[in-house]
A and B are shown apart, each in its own frame.
Chain A
Amino acid sequence: MKKYLKSFKSYTFLLSELVKRGIRLKYRRSYLGILWSLAEPLMTTIVLVIVFGTLFGRSREFPLYVMSGKLLYGFFSAATKSGCKSVRRNASMIKKVYVAKYLYPLSSVLFNFIIFAISLLVIIPVCIYCGIFPQLQYVWQLIPGLLNLLILTLGVSVVLATLNVFFRDIEYLWNVLLMIIMYLCAIFYPVERLMDSGWAWLLNLNPLYGCIDMFRGALIGYQVEFYYFAYSFIFGVVTLIIGLVFFKAKQDEFILHL
């Protein structure tokens, strides 16, 4: 364990360079640059609120509800997609110099997380617009919500990155799965609609929904059931452990398939 920590420490500069690369290249040659990470979720939220608010009837917190789901799902989707490609994308480096390969999925999740953290700023104008302000007794739920989200995303990315080295289909398959996950996140429909039907278990099995629920609970002001904390945490940690073991077992073979 000590050995791993020491080697990780020697890679901090490389990790920061890789994270920087992700952030820089994402918005390179665009006029608004990093502002897009604010403008993009804002614009999609407006569209979603108009369409689905009209369909389902709009409550006071609906814009905030849609936006928080959209932001968290957006991070999960962007980070796992880039994590999935991370090892392949860096093939030319892997073929030349030995560095610990876990840095590639790790850095792609981290740079997406930083962009996501910046994009969270758009929550403020939406809160003001809805006239809803986070209350102290609920807002702490942000921390376990975001932490579980990060662990889960890392775990899924490491698994995908490993698989994608051996089978390129994973990239395309994951796009389809992401769409299914999106519908199971209750982003733009009121969650009660699904909870009252016979399909509630589907939502409860989605660890991402737990994270979104905690985030919403923190902002809109309600206490999330303990089940969601526990389930999304355990799911995330188990995925991460499986992913790391799998990655470690297979990483020496990567080079033969790139």
Chain B
Amino acid sequence: MAKNKTSIRVENVSMKFNLNAEKLDSVKEFMIKFITGKLHYNEFWALTDVSFELEKGDRLGILGLNGAGKSTLLKAIAGVYKPTTGHIYKGGKIAPLLELGAGFEMQYTARENVYLYGAILGYTKEFIDSKFDEIIEFAELEKFVDVPIKNFSSGMRSRLGFAICTSVCPDILILDEVLSVGDSKFKMKSEARVREMMANDATVLFVSHSIEQVKRICNKAIILDHGKVIEMGEVNEVAAHYMEMNGIVEEPEDAGNK
């Protein structure tokens, strides 16, 4: 496939949240506040004027401290959040690997969840039928196919989520801290699968607190700070700058994962 084809274009995206001083979710409180004119929100801009463009096959690492807006940006690209202003162009099928293990139906068995979850991700029934064994095998859950998910450990759930989400060959892969799922054996397996997709020219958006991992996987990086992009460029340069900025010393390979 031809390179230098735009895969994702984020144009001036801003995302505003209304933070209530107190949580308001009952009619009575709302009415009282509304009538007495005390209904005001604290605005919070999780993202301000974020723009960038990725070509097909680019792997973008998103660096930033907690609360910098990394996950908000990924969710906006995944389509879960609608940006308050701005526009996001996406070329192709997206596999969002966000909060793996969440979104399952707890009373359902693993088998039923594969179908339900697959349907939510937009797979067809035939596709799931054909991939079913592969998904269960990858998640290493052969013995638990007909056990309700509520009895699973969180590691097992995450593995299943990862296996379902990555059973397609997506054009765009969104990874939010997901390569730290499961034991070290599964970690290696999942990283191998992500690399396989990268070899297929998938565009990757990657969030991780392990800078080593970002350097290993990505070719580009941005730094987010309080919702603004403060730097964008080649991964090693940006990562070096980021470490310097936050006073992080170069760490040995596995220290961050422990």
Query: Which positions in A face B, CB cutoff 8 Å?
Result: 10, 13-14, 17-18, 21, 24-25, 28, 92-99, 166-170, 173, 252, 255-257
Answer yes or no: B252 CB below 8 A from chain A CBs.
no
- Tell me how far the C-beta of B100 lies from the nearest C-beta in chain A, rounded to whole angstroms: 9
When chains A and B are docked, how far (Å) is the Cα of A94 from the Cα of B88? 19
B26 cross-chain contacts in A, Cβ below 8 A = 167-169
Answer yes or no: B230 CB below 8 A from chain A CBs.
no
Answer yes or no: B65 CB below 8 A from chain A CBs.
no
Subset of 30 A-B contacts with CB under 8 Å:
A13-B119, A13-B124, A17-B115, A17-B116, A18-B119, A21-B105, A21-B108, A21-B112, A24-B108, A25-B107, A28-B107, A92-B103, A93-B120, A95-B102, A96-B78, A96-B99, A96-B103, A97-B78, A97-B96, A97-B121, A98-B78, A98-B79, A99-B120, A166-B25, A167-B30, A169-B27, A169-B28, A170-B27, A255-B81, A257-B25
B25 with A168: CB separation less than 8 A: yes
Interface size on B, residues (CB 8 A): 30
When chains A and B are docked, how far (Å) is the Cα of A18 from the Cα of B105? 11
Query: Which positions in B face A, CB cutoff 8 Å?
Result: 17-18, 25-28, 30, 75, 78-82, 96, 98-99, 102-103, 105, 107-108, 112, 115-116, 119-122, 124-125
A252 with B120: CB separation less than 8 A: no
A167 with B25: CB separation less than 8 A: yes
B80 with A14: CB separation less than 8 A: no
A166 cross-chain contacts in B, Cβ below 8 A = 25
Option from B82, B99, B124 in Cβ contact (under 8 Å) with A95: B99
Option from A98, A167, A168 in Cβ contact (under 8 Å) with B80: A98
The 7 closest A-B pairs by CB, nearest first: A98-B79, A14-B119, A17-B119, A252-B82, A92-B103, A93-B103, A167-B27
B116 with A97: CB separation less than 8 A: no
Known: A14-B120, A98-B79. 18 other contacts (CB 8 A): A13-B119, A13-B124, A17-B119, A28-B107, A93-B120, A95-B103, A96-B98, A96-B103, A97-B79, A97-B80, A97-B120, A99-B122, A167-B26, A167-B30, A169-B27, A169-B28, A252-B82, A257-B25
B30 cross-chain contacts in A, Cβ below 8 A = 167
A256 with B17: CB separation less than 8 A: yes
B108 cross-chain contacts in A, Cβ below 8 A = 21, 24-25
A28 cross-chain contacts in B, Cβ below 8 A = 107
Closest to A163 in B: B27
B103 with A97: CB separation less than 8 A: yes
Closest to B161 in A: A96
- Tell me how far the C-beta of A192 lies from the nearest C-beta in chain B, rounded to whole angstroms: 38
Residue from the set A25, A94, A96 with the largest chain B CB neighbour count within 10 Å:
A96
